[in-house]
Structure 1
Amino acid sequence: MVYAIVRAGGRQEKVAVGDLVTLDRLPGDAGSTIELPALLLVDGDKVTSAAQELANVTVTAEVLGDLRGPKISIQKFKNKTGYKKRQGFRADLTRVKITSIA
């Protein structure tokens, strides 16, 4: 089993070939390919974490499309002052498919 830990959008994701991953919005249109920086590579019993060896590792992903996350409701209220505030938020996300780890 080969998998890698990659940095994407301020977070770290565990990915393997063929996985569908939802990340923070990335530049690129649907069908384009992107490369994600690897932080750790596991190939069976061999674990690679040295920066010099990881410089040779490429994790390639295909952009499937953009989407938006679920709506988050934000409400603030202070008692006896008449202060009320309502906000909503939906995260911009990108869906990618991992095509190769080489």
Structure 2
Amino acid sequence: MVYAVVRAGGRQEKVEVGSIITLDRVQAAEGESIELPAVLFVDGDTVTTEADALSKVKVTAEVQGNLRGPKIVIQKFKNKTGYKKRQGHRQELTRVKVTGIK
């Protein structure tokens, strides 16, 4: 079993070849290939965590498309002052498919 833990958008994701993950927006066109930095690499019983060895590990992924996350509503309210504030947010996301771990 071969898998890697990659750093993607401020988070760490466990990926295998063929897995589809959602990241924060990546500036790449659909169908384009990107490379993700590995923080851990597991190949059977061998676990690699050293920075020198991880610099040789390449995790490639293909961009499948851009999307937006669910809408989050932020409301602030202070009693007896007439202060109300409402704001929303939708995170920009990118869906990628891992194509190779070498």
TM range (shorter): over 0.9
Q: Deviations over 1:41-89 (max 9, x none)?
A: 0111110001111111000000000000000010000000000000000
- Are 1:100 and 2:79 matched, yes or no? no
Q: What is the TM-score of this pair, normalised by structure 1?
A: 0.99
- Are 1:48 and 2:61 matched, yes or no? no
Tell me the secondary structure at the aligned position of residue 97 of structure 2: strand
Deviation at 1:8, TM superposition (A): 0.7
Q: Note the residue ranges of structure 1 that are not aligned, 5 or more in a row.
A: none
What residue identity is the alignment partner of 2:66? D
Deviation at 1:6, TM superposition (A): 0.4
Q: Note the residue ranges of structure 2 that are not aligned, 5 or more in a row.
A: none
Q: Percent identity?
A: 70
Take 1:2 and 1:75, find their aligned partners in 2: how far apart are those partners? 45
What residue identity is the alignment partner of 1:21? I
Tell me the secondary structure at the aligned position of residue 75 of structure 1: strand
Take 1:51 and 1:59, find their aligned partners in 2: how far apart are those partners? 15
